[in-house]
Each structure stands twice: as C-alpha cells, then as structure tokens.
C-alpha cells in the first residue's frame, strides 16, 4: 500500500495524491524556505503544501524550480497544493485568488486547491469558483480545509462536485474519529496538518517507548500512524536532516496494538483554531 515515499492514494476523481508531503506553514520567504523545498524534492518528496495566507508562495515556487532542476524531474511529477484565504471567499474573488497564487508560485496549474476555512455564508460561492476551475481543467483536484461534518453537509447540499480532500488538524491527541469515518463514507480523502502537534508530542512517554521498540523516533511513529489510518500527512520542517528523517517511515509497520495505544492518546485537544469558533 505505502511502500515508499512516492506512494499515492487515488482521489475520487482518479487523481493520484502522494501519501506524504512537506508543509511550509509559518516558514518565511527566503533562502531557508527555498532550500527546504528543494531538499524535500531531492530526498524524494513529491508533494508540497502551501497557502495564500502563509505569504510564502513565491519562495515555495523558487524552491520548486530549484528542486526540479536538482532532481532532474518534470513539474508533472509534483503534487502542489495551495489554499484560498477567507478574505477572498466569493465567486470572482476566489477565481482571482487562484490566479494570484499561480503567479506567485510560477506555475501553470495546481494539483489541489482548497478553501482554507469554512467561513459561514461565504464558502458556498467560493466552492462554485473551485468547481469552475476544475471543470475548465485549471486544477487537478479541489477540496476544503478545516471543515467539520456539518460544514461538509452544507457544502455538498448545493455542490455539483464533492470535495476530493479535507485537510484538518489531526494527531494522536485529536483523532477526529467522527470526521474520519464521515470522510471515508463519502470518499473524501482526509489529510493531516500539524501531525506532530507542533512538536508537543515528541517527548510523550508512550510514543517514545513505542519508538524505541521499532528503532524509530517519536515523530516517525506518529507519521506512520497517520498513514496506517489512511490519512495523508504533511509534516513541516526546514532542516534537511529532519526532512529526510520524517520520510523514513516506509520500512516498518506499526502493530494493531500499537496503533490502538497511540489512538488512545486522544483528548480532542487542538493547537490550532476551532473550526466552529474562529473569527478571522
């Protein structure tokens, strides 16, 4: 199923999406960002995730160009995601935001474009714009981020195309079991942001104990747990050694007992905003 870093899941429209990728949240423009993206591509990563609000699409684009040159691969081998920000949620404004993201990234198309947050009363029009971009062949797949089940219900009630992906905060302290089964049932691929809970789980005694038994790190154990739960994951790092280490999770499998123990850490605890209660 997931035997190597380029392994993919097939979205409901037939698009292949890598199980594993690099996130760049809170990484500022500059050489560090560009080198991190290029290093990820060099180490075999084929998925890069950014967003308009991160303010780093131009740097990500330069890192992609550098990485493609160094690895000697084509753009078509990469899976690039960006997201439309809340201020741009509307039909025309979302279409314009897509063009802006493409221009900054220096790309002709995105593989995945997401609505970043479920702003009540605004995401439906934005979704119409994403459907238009998809139908015009401008983007390979469309989806949402931070949507709870009721947001998805509202969206799909009026949608022509159901989302292919829902990217949410997901880690052993926030296992999102109801949302996970809802997405499985509807053929929507779940994707984890902040899979390592922004580093808060790396000293967890249970995870360290499990890690020792596999000769792996706590981070590697968590990321492997994501994949075995059928969740795409995009850990963030800017350090080449960490980028390589995070991806070194395809040579072992967690036992079902360990999978259950890790899931048992759930406390419904978030490090990010609550999708039912945010004001931005």
pLDDT tens string 36-71: 999 999 999 999 999 999 999 999 999 999 999 999
Active site residues: 54
Residue 26 pLDDT > 90? no
The Cβ of residue 232 has, within 10 Å, a number of other Cβ atoms equal to 25
% helix, strand, coil for the chain, step of 5: 45, 15, 40
Q: Is 137 left (phi over 0), alpha (psi -120 to 50) or beta?
A: left
Helix (H) or strand (E) holding 134: helix 123-135
Does the structure show a pLDDT above 90 at 23? yes
Residue 217 domain-assigned?
no
CA gap 3, 212 in Å, rounded: 21
Closest CA to 170 of 279, 50, 271, 258: 271
Residue 230 pLDDT > 80? yes
Q: Which helix (H) or strand (E) holds 113?
A: strand 110-115
Say yes or no to pLDDT of 72 above 70: yes
Give me the domain span that covers residue 45. Answer: 15-199+231-236
pLDDT in tens, 82-131: 999 999 999 999 999 999 999 999 999 999 999 999 999 999 999 999 99
Number of domains in the chain: 1
Residue 108 lies in a domain: yes
Per-residue pLDDT averaged across 177-203, rounded? 96
Residue 74 · residue 42 · CB < 8 Å: no
CATH code assigned at 72: 3.20.20.100
Structure tokens at 243: 């980028």
Q: Is residue 259 domain-resident?
A: no
On whether residue 34 sits in a domain, the answer given is yes
For position 1, what pLDDT does the model report?
Answer: 62
pTM > 0.95: yes or no: yes
70: in domain: yes
The DSSP string of 243-271 is HHHHT--SS----HHHHHHHHTT-----S
The answer to the question of residue 26 being in a domain is: yes
Distance CA 237, CA 241 (A): 9
DSSP annotation of 28 reads P
- Put residue 197 in one of left, alpha, beta given phi > 0 → left and psi -120 to 50 → alpha: left
Average pLDDT for 245-272: 97
106-109 long-range contacts, CB within 8 A, separation 24+: 106/58, 106/61, 106/62, 106/64, 106/65, 107/61, 107/64, 107/75, 107/80, 108/75, 109/138, 109/139, 109/140
55 within a domain of the structure (yes/no): yes
Domain-embedded: residue 273: no
Which pLDDT tens digit goes with each residue over 133-184?
999 999 999 999 999 999 999 999 999 999 999 999 999 999 999 999 999 9
Average confidence score pLDDT of the chain: 96
């Amino acid at each position: 199923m997931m035997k190597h870093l380029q392994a993919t899941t097939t979205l409901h429209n037939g698009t292949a999406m890598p199980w594993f990728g690099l996130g760049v949240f809170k990484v500022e423009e500059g050489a560090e960002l560009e080198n991190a993206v290029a290093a990820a591509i060099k180490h075999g990563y084929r998925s890069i995730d950014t967003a308009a609000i991160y303010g780093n699409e131009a740097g990500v684009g330069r890192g992609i160009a550098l990485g493609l040159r160094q690895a000697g691969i084509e753009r078509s081998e990469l899976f690039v995601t960006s997201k439309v920000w809340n201020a741009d949620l509307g039909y025309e404004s979302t279409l314009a935001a897509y063009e802006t993201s493409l221009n900054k990234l220096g790309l002709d198309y995105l593989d995945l474009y997401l609505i970043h947050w479920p702003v009540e009363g605004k995401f439906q029009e934005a979704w119409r714009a994403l459907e238009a971009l998809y139908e015009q062949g401008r983007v390979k797949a469309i989806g949402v981020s931070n949507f709870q089940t009721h947001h998805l219900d509202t969206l799909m009630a009026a949608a022509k195309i159901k989302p292919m992906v829902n990217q949410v905060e997901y880690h052993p302290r926030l296992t999102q079991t109801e949302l996970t089964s809802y997405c499985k049932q509807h053929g929507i691929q779940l994707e984890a942001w902040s899979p390592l809970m922004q580093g808060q789980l790396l000293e967890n005694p249970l995870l360290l104990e499990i890690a020792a038994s596999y000769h792996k790190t706590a981070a590697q154990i968590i990321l492997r747990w994501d994949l075995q739960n059928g969740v795409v994951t995009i850990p963030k790092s800017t350090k080449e050694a960490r980028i390589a280490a995070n991806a070194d999770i395809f040579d072992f499998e967690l036992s079902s007992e360990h999978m259950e123990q890790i899931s048992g850490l759930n406390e419904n605890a978030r490090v990010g905003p609550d999708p039912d209660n945010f004001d931005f």
